Amino acid sequence: MLDDVFKKHGVGLDDLYQSDWDLTLEKHYMKLWNFICDGKETMLKPIHLNIKEKQLFYSKADKKHLFLGPTHQMYLISDKKDENGCVMVYTPYLFGQGQVFLVPAHLIIHLGYN
């Protein structure tokens, strides 16, 4: 009977024994995991840029150019190039707000997985 009540309200029995901190941490982890994995749960390739200092790159979300540094945390979304030879790159950017940038393919340095 209690199982039916819990299911109706979207609460599992495991959730009762987790603290609010554990639940918040798990939600944050899953959100980040979804950002760095594609739909097939394949990890995206971590990359750096072959540039000396910050440069302007086009942000698809903001529809304007924003600065990216050579060692910002970035992941290659797709190897498919657009008409300008750019590929899509995901970065958490500032304060965890995800951004997708168009970056020339020849500037990408593949880091590999740890």
Angle at 71 between CA 70 and CA 74, to 5 degrees: 100
Tell which residue, 59, 55, 53, 111, has the closest CA to residue 89.
Answer: 59
Could you tell me which residue, 6 or 28, shows the higher pLDDT? 28
Does the pLDDT at position 92 exceed 90?
A: no
What is the mean pLDDT of the segment spanning 32-60? 78
Does the pLDDT at position 4 exceed 80?
A: no
Looking only at Cα atoms, what is the longest distance across the chain? 64
Please name the residue that has the structure tokens 């997708």: 100
What is the mean pLDDT of the segment spanning 82-97? 82
pLDDT band for position 61 (cuts 50, 70, 90): confident
Per DSSP, the three-state class of 49 is strand
Torsion angle, CA of 34/39/42/44, rounded to 10 degrees? -60
| pTM, 2 dp | 0.60
For residue 20, the model assigns a pLDDT of 76
What is the mean pLDDT of the segment spanning 6-24? 64
Does the pLDDT at position 18 exceed 80?
A: no
